[in-house]
Structure 1
Amino acid sequence: MRPNLSVDYGSSNLIASLQPDRGAGSSYAVGSSVRFLLTTRTAGYVTLVSLDPGGNSNVLVRSAYVNAGTTSFPRAQDGAASFSVAPPRGYQRVRAIFTRARPGTDLYFQGSYDQGRWNDATNGYVQGYAPADRDVQETSFYIR
């Protein structure tokens, strides 16, 4: 089991936790639903991006405003009733990118990424924000 990972891009500890509803490192069967619990220490905007076992990335939630405290995703107001687990099977990563200020541009993560390119894309996005106003945290689960 891999624990939550805080990705260091000058993060300021604005995200207290991020985990799938069964806990970090848990497993989900193809076709089942997964929710994500995000706890933040302050209000701001969050984008959730996934990186599947095949290296493909997608935006799950884009620039959603959250109050301080715990928010469960997906939310109906963000246009999704649930996230359905789909192949490929293996280690699935989800990254929360949080900023205090409303993003001026949308974050687009679509296509194939290796670890370095995925980190570079996240880093490039948050560099426009002061270190005290941004945070990135990652969690994972297994698709079976």
Structure 2
Amino acid sequence: MRPVHTTAVIASALAVGLSACTVSVRPNLTLQASGGNLISGLKPDRGEGSSYAVGENVRINVGTRAAGYVTLVALQSNGYASVLARNVYVQPGTTSFPRAQDGVVYTIAPPRGIQRVRAIFTRVRPTTDLVISGYYDGDRWNTFTNAYVSPYPQADRDVQETFFYIR
């Protein structure tokens, strides 16, 4: 009888302790298009899952293990997607977007909610420009990315995604 009682006390303590926790789910932990482990890091300047108010600026830090081309695409909470940076040549290491020479800032605007940012990396310059504008659901968003990188060998491409919240 004692082992059952101890187990019940432990289970109750865990349930009480977990009831105050917030669980965050990272979107798209595994992407079919991901290939060569070429992106070493991808996060907003305050960290993944951080929060930004409308009107604040955000920078996206992309770490790469090889020289190549980065495209950043944002997917808003309402499903609207847009390109933040297209086929930007980077050296190995961390590059912050927007870069100073780009002459732009990424200013947070509505809609409020989760903002996903996908980095697409290829070692060779993409032969087609990424044309994306419009509304995407999760399946179309992934299908689009897969179609964009499929011409390149898996070892020469990588796709990663991060997120933050707009309040």
TM bucket normalised to smaller = over 0.9
Give the counterpart letter for 2:131 in structure 1: Y
TM score, norm. by length of structure 2: 0.82
Kindly provide the CA deviation profile for residues 96-123 of structure 1, in whole angstroms up to 9, marking residues without a partner as x.
0000001111111110000000111100
How far 1:6 sits from its partner (Å)?
Answer: 4.5
**Count of aligned positions:** 143
Greater Cα radius of gyration, structure 1 or 2: 2
The residue aligned with 2:121 is 98
The residue aligned with 1:122 is 145
How far 1:24 sits from its partner (Å)?
Answer: 0.2
Query: Equivalent residue of 1:137, what SS?
Result: strand
2:8 is equivalent to residue 16 of structure 1: no
The residue aligned with 2:88 is 64
Q: Which runs of 5+ in 2 are unaligned?
A: 1-23
CA contact (8 A) 1:61 1:78 kept: no
In the alignment, the residues of structure 1 paired with residue 62 and residue 162 of structure 2 have an alpha-carbon distance, to the nearest angstrom, of 10
In the alignment, the residues of structure 2 paired with residue 61 and residue 104 of structure 1 have an alpha-carbon distance, to the nearest angstrom, of 16
The residue aligned with 2:61 is 37
TM score, norm. by length of structure 1: 0.95
- Quote the RMSD (CA, aligned, Å): 1.2
- Paired residue for 1:54, among 78, 84, 98? 78
Kindly provide the CA deviation profile for residues 26-54 of structure 1, in whole angstroms up to 9, marking residues without a partner as x.
00000100000100000000000000000
In the alignment, the residues of structure 1 paired with residue 165 and residue 133 of structure 2 have an alpha-carbon distance, to the nearest angstrom, of 21
Give the counterpart letter for 1:33 in structure 2: N
In the alignment, the residues of structure 1 paired with residue 128 and residue 62 of structure 2 have an alpha-carbon distance, to the nearest angstrom, of 22
Q: In the superposition, relative to structure 1, how do residues 76 and 56 fare at CA in structure 2: closer, same or farther (>3 Å)? A: same
Identity of aligned residues (%): 61
Query: Equivalent residue of 1:119, what SS?
Result: helix
Higher share in helix = 2
**69-78 or 53-62: bigger deviation:** 69-78
How far 1:142 sits from its partner (Å)?
Answer: 0.3
Q: Which runs of 5+ in 1 are unaligned?
A: none
